[in-house]
Each structure stands twice: as structure tokens, then as C-alpha cells.
Amino acid sequence: MWLEQARGQNLPLSGDLINEKAMKLAELMHIPDLMASDGWLDNFKKRHGITFKTVQGEAGAVDSQSLLEWKQQVLRPLLRQVSADDVFNLGEANSKGWMTAELIEEILHACDGRLGQQGRRVVVCLDNFSGHPAELQLNNIQLVFFPPNTTANS
């Protein structure tokens, strides 16, 4: 649960931090023989799909102040209007594929129709990738864009 919270807040994770947290949790749960060794950490990372990477490019050039203001002025008010379960991030997860404006519009229209049938309204957060449609008219999906020089990983 701690790992998911840290990931959700985009906190930087390191092997030392994970080992330290594991030792503290083991102590709280009265597990005296836990050894947070390099082998333990390797197995933990494999089980949970964790890889350590250096942040570069777009995510490395994040304007932290703009992101903080966006969270306070845009995201928080939205979360007062809809359930957190109805807020999504849409990004290009496949490095081998390429998202086009036509493809994303097709996907969003299909989702919009299904959400209407379910009586749901959702918020979809997007980065400022040029293929993301800024003026798309949807009935059940509200598109919200991250500020420039920020990403969903910020």
C-alpha cells in the first residue's frame, strides 16, 4: 500500500528507501527476521514491476510551480465535483506505437458513448501532446490538460 501511495504521488523511489521502509514495516508487524538485502530488493522489484530510471526529457523539465498551481486551482476543484474513481489520465503508454489525433478522437468518442449508457461523467487528464484534441465535444468526458512542461509523471 505504501508503494502504491508513493507511486501515486510520483515520489522518487530508491532501493535504499524501499529497504528502509521494509525494515520499518517489518518492525511494526513484529517480523524480526526480515533481511532487506540486495537479493530481497531484486525479488521485490520483480514482483511489483519496479524499475529505477533517470528522469529525462519532458518529465525532467517539469515546471514544479506551474504543476502545483494547476493541482490547487484546477485539479482540487474537479475532485470536489466528481469521485476520484472518475478521474483518469490518458497517455501514450506504448513506445512502439504512435498516437494520432484521429485515433484518440475515435477512442474518446467510443468511451463517451459507453459512459453515457452507464450514466457516468468522468474527467480525463491529458498532457499537451499535439495529437490530443483540445476542442473535442464530448457529453460524458471532460478533458483537462496538464500545464505546459509537465506530465502525468510529475
Its pTM stands at 0.54
At 15, the pLDDT band (50, 70, 90 cuts) reads confident
User: Average pLDDT, stretch 91-105?
Assistant: 70
Grid coordinates of 73: 486551482
Q: How would you label 29-44 residue by residue, b for 16+ Cβ within 10 Å and e otherwise? A: eeeeeeebeeeebeeb
Closest by CA position to 150, among listed 70, 59, 54, 56: 59
pLDDT score, position 141: 92
Residue 58: pLDDT band with limits 50, 70, 90: very low
Q: For residue 59, what pLDDT band results from cuts at 50, 70 and 90?
A: very low
Domain boundaries, the chain: 2-48, 62-145
* Cα(92)–Cα(74) distance, integer angstroms: 22
Q: Mean of the pLDDT values across residues 99-127?
A: 88
